[in-house]
Structure 1
Amino acid sequence: MAEKQDQWTNVPTQFISANGINFAYREYGQHNGGTPVIFLNHLAAVLDNWDPRIIDGIAAKHHVVVFDNRGVGASTGKPSKSIEQMADDAITFIQAKGFKQVDLFGFSMGGMISQEIVLKQPQLIRKMILSGTGPAGGIGISTVGRVSNWDLVRGMATRQDPKVYLFFTRTDNGKAAAKQFVQRINERTENRDKEITISAYRAQLKALKKWGSKKPADLSVIQQPVLVANGDHDRMVPPVNTYDLAKRLPNSALIIYPDAGHGGIFQFHDDFVK
């Protein structure tokens, strides 16, 4: 069993209790030592929405911990209605695990939560990766819900995973990448996570709307090295936010993938993992 556990498709889901919440998480790559990398996920996502190639790729050299925030997937509790509260819950989880310092990998909404975490607890964070995301009050962030809902309907109408539309371009490249991505996130067949509930999705939309309309934070205080990434055709969080975010962070590096959407890192997973 041991050698098989080094893969995202069969890492067991575990639980840890803190603040009255039972957090569901998966963890592997501990033998690599070093700073644990905490993964923070996108709108409506649960553990099984992560691309196995990215998690396996990073777990090959790092200690990886992926969790469901409060009220999401198999984690208990009432879903949080603000990005700030989601950050507090994430900090609760990190501290419950006994980690003194972590790296954060925030994708989309997870990138917004990551920004709040580092502003609240700078000493807790060593480095960050922020992908498909933008700063508070960024262009188009408060309307992410509208784009998502439209594509959810489109997905149902075409019997496709809505992420095909949301995360990828509609070019031949984009369509092929989308198909491969959907296959990969379905590779795990046993002990899959619980799907997001409608109430959790609604709470997240509320949180995004609020966060997207708030006054931008001063990100110049974030001294940690940050890798900022996106696709050049992100319809969910327009790439102008990605450039803006990289500019506001004093110690940032920027990658923009060509002919790629919100899920650019999944499309270019080989390059991104490096």
Structure 2
Amino acid sequence: MAKIKEETLRLSECTMDYISFGNGEKPLIMIPGLSLRRVKGSGRGVALSYRIFAKDYRVYMFDTRNECDESCSITQMADDLYEAMCALRIEQADLLGVSMGGMILQTLLIRHPKIIDHCVIALSASYCAEISEKRIGEWIRLSEQKETDLLVRGFFNDLYSESYLKRYKPFMGLLVKMASKADPVRFMNHAKAILKFDVRDQLSNVQTKAYVIGAKQDRIVPWQETVNIAAKLKAPYYLYENLGHGAYEEAKDFNERVLKALKGETDGRI
């Protein structure tokens, strides 16, 4: 594995965990989505999953602040990430934001555009649509009731395709057990932050080299949001026809597609 590091940054108002790996000189910032897992402790797995980027980039994956409470917002997460990049003396980088991470990335584009070179927004939205409110509202309800097992199983069912769930069914019990150790309050606070997110009226003013990825069978984020974001950013986009919100893990070509987009080799529609 290429120079894997796991460290904690102390920022002005909080601390933030991050992973870094790769042999390249240019920084690539990966912003994960809403998850029951934390970044800390997952360095080897992340480096293995995203090894295609290790040659060209020094890759950083940041968690959200450790001191997360009910006042957290997508704007706060974006500003924290910007401060973290500045603390590491990253003046400009390529970025990949998935799901909630894509919302954080859009906010960075609006508030701190100069720090971004190329970027990919995947399986994300510029606001919380009705279908998203329904799914996320159910996750919040289960979190509040501390129904962690039901939360984990429901989250996986919403995220992945039937074929993927069937393939990994023998391991589902273990996955649920591992995810059930997560902090449901932290998960709930992040979910509530998504419900309040809306940058639809601000994206048209952004000038950036972006690429947008969505999935036609997404049960969490409407695929039309991929088209809408791309239109406002005047960016090319690509839609997976037979995959859902978990396309970033299920699609065999996802990482390669992202890498090509970051290099300016896009094949999507405009």
TM-score (norm 1): 0.77
The corresponding residue for 1:70 is 65
Distance across 2 between alignment mates of 1:84 and 1:160: 26
- Measure the CA separation in 2 of the matches of 1:215 and 1:113: 11
Contact 2:72 2:193 in 1 (8 A): yes
Contact 1:44/1:204 (8 A) holds in 2: no
Give aligned-pair identity as a percent.
Answer: 21
Change (3 A) 1:154 1:246: farther
Alignment CA distance shift 1:259-1:160 (3 Å): same
Q: Tell me the amino acid that sits aligned with residue 203 of structure 2.
A: L
Describe the SS at the equivalent of 1:32. Answer: coil
In 1, Cα distance between equivalents of 2:112 and 2:95: 12
Give per-residue Cα distances to partners, 1:9-65, cap 9 Å, x unaligned: xx3421221114222111011x3112x111111113422498665422222332200
CA distance in 1, matches of 2:246, 2:103: 16
Q: Which of the residues 95, 98, 107 maps onto 1:107? A: 98
Equivalence for 2:227:
243
Residue aligning to 1:60: 55
Write out per-residue CA displacement over residues 216-262 of structure 1, whole angstroms, 9 at most, x where no aligned residue. 23312222121211221111111111121111111x12111122110
* Secondary structure at the counterpart of residue 220 of structure 1: helix
When the two chains are superposed, the root-mean-square deviation of aligned CA atoms in Å is: 3.5
Residues 1:203 and 2:195 aligned together: no
SS at 2:196 equivalent: helix
With over 3 angstroms needed to count, the CA separation of the structure-2 counterparts of 1:181 and 1:82, relative to structure 1, is: farther
Alpha-carbon shift at residue 95 of structure 1 (Å): 0.9
CA distance in 1, matches of 2:91, 2:135: 34
Q: What TM-score do you get using the length of structure 2 for normalisation?
A: 0.78
Equivalent-residue separation in structure 2 for 1:175 and 1:166 (angstroms): 10
How many pairs align? 249
Aligned-pair CA distance for 1:134: 0.9
Give the match for residue 175 of structure 1.
165
Q: State the distance in 1 between where 2:169 and 2:56 align.
A: 27
5+ unaligned residues in a row in structure 1: which ranges?
Answer: 187-191
- Partner letter of residue 269 of structure 1? K
Write the letter of the residue equivalent to 2:62: F
Q: Which residue of 1 aligns with 2:149?
A: 156
Task: Judge which range, 108-117 or 45-54, deviates more.
Answer: 45-54
Give 1:143 shift.
Answer: 3.6
RCO comparison, higher one (Cα < 8 Å, 6+): 1
Structure 2: 5+ residue stretches without partners: 258-270
